[in-house]
Structure 1
Protein backbone atom coordinates (compact mmCIF):
# COMPACT_ATOMS: atom_id res chain seq x y z
CA UNK A 1 0.00 0.00 0.00
CA UNK A 2 1.26 3.47 -0.83
CA UNK A 3 2.46 5.41 2.25
CA UNK A 4 0.29 8.43 1.36
CA UNK A 5 -2.83 6.26 1.45
CA UNK A 6 -2.00 4.44 4.68
CA UNK A 7 -4.67 4.75 7.34
CA UNK A 8 -4.66 2.87 10.58
CA UNK A 9 -7.37 2.87 13.21
CA UNK A 10 -5.78 3.14 16.65
CA UNK A 11 -7.82 3.51 19.83
CA UNK A 12 -10.84 4.97 18.04
CA UNK A 13 -8.83 7.44 15.92
CA UNK A 14 -7.75 7.38 12.29
CA UNK A 15 -5.04 9.56 10.78
CA UNK A 16 -5.23 10.65 7.16
CA UNK A 17 -2.02 11.53 5.31
CA UNK A 18 -2.63 14.62 3.18
CA UNK A 19 -1.06 15.03 -0.25
CA UNK A 20 -1.07 18.80 0.18
CA UNK A 21 -0.11 20.29 3.55
CA UNK A 22 -2.88 22.48 4.93
CA UNK A 23 -3.10 24.89 7.86
CA UNK A 24 -5.29 23.72 10.74
CA UNK A 25 -5.48 25.68 13.99
CA UNK A 26 -2.60 27.86 12.81
CA UNK A 27 -0.25 24.95 12.12
CA UNK A 28 0.73 23.67 8.66
CA UNK A 29 0.07 19.92 8.76
CA UNK A 30 0.51 16.98 6.42
CA UNK A 31 -2.00 14.78 8.27
CA UNK A 32 -5.35 15.08 10.00
CA UNK A 33 -6.73 12.78 12.69
CA UNK A 34 -10.41 11.98 13.19
CA UNK A 35 -11.74 10.49 16.41
CA UNK A 36 -14.61 8.03 16.36
CA UNK A 37 -17.98 9.80 16.41
CA UNK A 38 -20.28 9.78 19.39
CA UNK A 39 -24.05 9.87 19.06
CA UNK A 40 -23.81 13.44 20.38
CA UNK A 41 -21.58 14.45 17.46
CA UNK A 42 -24.02 13.15 14.88
CA UNK A 43 -27.03 14.70 16.61
CA UNK A 44 -25.30 18.07 16.90
CA UNK A 45 -24.44 18.07 13.20
CA UNK A 46 -28.05 17.15 12.36
CA UNK A 47 -29.36 20.02 14.50
CA UNK A 48 -27.14 22.59 12.79
CA UNK A 49 -28.36 22.03 9.25
CA UNK A 50 -30.57 19.85 7.09
CA UNK A 51 -28.12 20.12 4.17
CA UNK A 52 -26.27 16.79 3.90
CA UNK A 53 -22.98 18.29 2.68
CA UNK A 54 -22.92 20.96 5.39
CA UNK A 55 -23.83 18.35 8.02
CA UNK A 56 -20.87 16.21 6.94
CA UNK A 57 -18.54 19.21 7.10
CA UNK A 58 -19.78 20.09 10.60
CA UNK A 59 -19.30 16.49 11.75
CA UNK A 60 -15.80 16.17 10.29
CA UNK A 61 -14.77 19.53 11.76
CA UNK A 62 -15.92 18.38 15.18
CA UNK A 63 -14.18 15.00 14.94
CA UNK A 64 -10.91 16.57 13.75
CA UNK A 65 -11.16 19.57 16.11
CA UNK A 66 -10.74 22.08 13.28
CA UNK A 67 -13.07 24.64 11.74
CA UNK A 68 -15.35 24.11 8.76
CA UNK A 69 -13.52 26.97 7.02
CA UNK A 70 -10.23 25.08 7.41
CA UNK A 71 -11.77 21.94 5.91
CA UNK A 72 -13.05 24.03 3.01
CA UNK A 73 -9.45 25.11 2.38
CA UNK A 74 -8.31 21.52 1.84
CA UNK A 75 -7.49 20.09 -1.55
CA UNK A 76 -10.47 18.10 -2.86
CA UNK A 77 -8.47 14.87 -3.13
CA UNK A 78 -7.48 15.20 0.54
CA UNK A 79 -11.07 15.85 1.58
CA UNK A 80 -12.06 12.67 -0.28
CA UNK A 81 -9.42 10.81 1.75
CA UNK A 82 -10.96 12.25 4.89
CA UNK A 83 -14.38 10.96 3.80
CA UNK A 84 -12.96 7.49 3.11
CA UNK A 85 -11.24 7.45 6.50
CA UNK A 86 -14.44 8.48 8.28
CA UNK A 87 -16.46 5.71 6.67
CA UNK A 88 -13.73 3.21 7.50
CA UNK A 89 -13.68 4.41 11.11
CA UNK A 90 -17.48 4.44 11.34
CA UNK A 91 -17.76 0.90 9.96
CA UNK A 92 -15.11 -0.49 12.31
CA UNK A 93 -17.50 -2.38 14.57
CA UNK A 94 -18.75 -5.95 14.93
CA UNK A 95 -21.80 -5.49 12.71
CA UNK A 96 -20.22 -3.41 9.97
CA UNK A 97 -23.25 -1.09 10.07
CA UNK A 98 -21.38 1.86 11.54
CA UNK A 99 -22.62 4.33 14.15
CA UNK A 100 -24.80 6.34 11.77
CA UNK A 101 -27.00 3.42 10.68
CA UNK A 102 -29.35 3.37 13.71
CA UNK A 103 -29.78 7.15 13.63
CA UNK A 104 -30.60 7.18 9.91
CA UNK A 105 -33.09 4.35 10.42
CA UNK A 106 -34.95 6.16 13.19
CA UNK A 107 -34.93 9.53 11.45
CA UNK A 108 -37.35 8.49 8.70
Structure 2
Protein backbone atom coordinates (compact mmCIF):
# COMPACT_ATOMS: atom_id res chain seq x y z
CA UNK A 1 0.00 0.00 0.00
CA UNK A 2 1.06 3.54 -0.71
CA UNK A 3 1.76 5.66 2.40
CA UNK A 4 -0.52 8.69 2.60
CA UNK A 5 0.36 12.06 4.15
CA UNK A 6 -2.89 13.32 5.68
CA UNK A 7 -1.47 16.79 6.32
CA UNK A 8 -1.28 17.62 2.62
CA UNK A 9 -4.31 19.22 0.97
CA UNK A 10 -6.60 16.92 -0.99
CA UNK A 11 -5.56 16.32 -4.59
CA UNK A 12 -7.92 17.63 -7.26
CA UNK A 13 -9.05 14.08 -8.13
CA UNK A 14 -10.28 13.33 -4.58
CA UNK A 15 -13.45 14.71 -2.98
CA UNK A 16 -14.60 13.95 0.56
CA UNK A 17 -18.35 13.66 1.06
CA UNK A 18 -20.57 13.03 4.08
CA UNK A 19 -20.78 9.35 3.10
CA UNK A 20 -17.30 8.62 1.78
CA UNK A 21 -15.02 9.77 -1.02
CA UNK A 22 -15.34 10.30 -4.74
CA UNK A 23 -12.28 9.52 -6.84
CA UNK A 24 -11.92 10.95 -10.34
CA UNK A 25 -10.24 8.28 -12.43
CA UNK A 26 -7.36 8.86 -14.81
CA UNK A 27 -8.82 6.12 -17.04
CA UNK A 28 -12.46 5.23 -17.50
CA UNK A 29 -13.66 2.06 -15.77
CA UNK A 30 -16.69 -0.18 -16.14
CA UNK A 31 -18.62 -1.01 -12.97
CA UNK A 32 -22.00 -2.69 -13.11
CA UNK A 33 -22.01 -2.43 -16.88
CA UNK A 34 -21.66 1.35 -16.77
CA UNK A 35 -18.57 3.22 -18.02
CA UNK A 36 -17.51 5.71 -15.34
CA UNK A 37 -14.92 8.42 -14.94
CA UNK A 38 -15.47 8.65 -11.14
CA UNK A 39 -15.94 6.06 -8.42
CA UNK A 40 -17.59 6.67 -5.07
CA UNK A 41 -16.36 4.71 -2.09
CA UNK A 42 -18.50 4.67 1.04
CA UNK A 43 -16.94 4.76 4.47
CA UNK A 44 -16.28 1.27 5.85
CA UNK A 45 -18.00 -0.20 8.88
CA UNK A 46 -16.67 -2.75 11.33
CA UNK A 47 -18.99 -5.28 9.65
CA UNK A 48 -17.36 -4.54 6.27
CA UNK A 49 -13.92 -5.17 7.71
CA UNK A 50 -14.98 -8.41 9.42
CA UNK A 51 -16.51 -9.74 6.20
CA UNK A 52 -13.41 -8.82 4.18
CA UNK A 53 -11.14 -10.50 6.75
CA UNK A 54 -13.25 -13.67 6.74
CA UNK A 55 -13.16 -13.89 2.94
CA UNK A 56 -9.43 -13.15 2.66
CA UNK A 57 -8.04 -16.27 4.27
CA UNK A 58 -5.48 -14.11 6.07
CA UNK A 59 -4.00 -12.62 2.88
CA UNK A 60 -3.72 -8.82 3.19
CA UNK A 61 -3.99 -8.10 -0.55
CA UNK A 62 -7.19 -10.16 -0.74
CA UNK A 63 -8.55 -8.41 2.35
CA UNK A 64 -8.05 -5.00 0.71
CA UNK A 65 -9.56 -6.11 -2.59
CA UNK A 66 -12.57 -7.69 -0.86
CA UNK A 67 -13.10 -4.56 1.21
CA UNK A 68 -12.78 -2.23 -1.78
CA UNK A 69 -15.21 -4.33 -3.82
CA UNK A 70 -17.76 -4.02 -1.05
CA UNK A 71 -17.24 -0.29 -0.53
CA UNK A 72 -17.44 0.42 -4.27
CA UNK A 73 -20.20 -2.11 -5.08
CA UNK A 74 -17.85 -3.53 -7.71
CA UNK A 75 -16.89 -7.08 -8.62
CA UNK A 76 -13.38 -8.45 -8.22
CA UNK A 77 -13.01 -8.52 -12.02
CA UNK A 78 -14.06 -4.86 -12.27
CA UNK A 79 -11.66 -3.82 -9.51
CA UNK A 80 -8.70 -5.74 -10.93
CA UNK A 81 -9.34 -4.25 -14.37
CA UNK A 82 -8.51 -0.78 -13.03
CA UNK A 83 -5.21 0.78 -14.00
CA UNK A 84 -2.65 0.94 -11.17
CA UNK A 85 -2.82 4.75 -11.09
CA UNK A 86 -6.55 4.59 -10.37
CA UNK A 87 -6.17 1.79 -7.82
CA UNK A 88 -3.59 3.94 -6.01
CA UNK A 89 -6.12 6.78 -5.99
CA UNK A 90 -8.69 4.47 -4.40
CA UNK A 91 -6.15 3.52 -1.74
CA UNK A 92 -5.51 7.19 -1.00
CA UNK A 93 -9.26 7.82 -0.73
CA UNK A 94 -9.70 4.84 1.58
CA UNK A 95 -6.98 6.05 3.93
CA UNK A 96 -8.60 9.48 4.04
CA UNK A 97 -11.79 7.72 5.23
CA UNK A 98 -10.22 5.66 7.99
CA UNK A 99 -7.38 7.80 9.35
CA UNK A 100 -7.94 10.82 11.56
CA UNK A 101 -6.45 14.05 10.25
CA UNK A 102 -5.40 15.02 13.77
CA UNK A 103 -3.64 11.76 14.66
Pick aligned residue for 1:38 from 30, 39, 45: 45
| Per-residue CA distance 1:24-64 (angstroms, 9 max, x = gap) | 00000001000000000000000011110011000000001
Distance in 1, Cα, partners of 2:97 & 2:51: 19
Give the alignment's TM-score, normalised by structure 1.
0.79
**Higher normalized contact order (CA 8 Å, seq sep 6+, divided by chain length):** 2
Structure showing greater Rg: 1
Tell me, yes or no, if structure 1 residue 79 matches structure 2 residue 94: no
Structure 1: where are the runs of 5+ without partners?
A: 97-108
CA RMSD of aligned residues (A): 1.6
- State the aligned residue count: 92
Structure 2: where are the runs of 5+ without partners?
A: 1-10
Give 1 or 2: higher helix fraction: 1
8 A Cα contact 2:24 2:37, kept in partner: yes
Give the 4+ runs in structure 1 shifted more than 3 A: none
8 A Cα contact 1:5 1:16, kept in partner: no
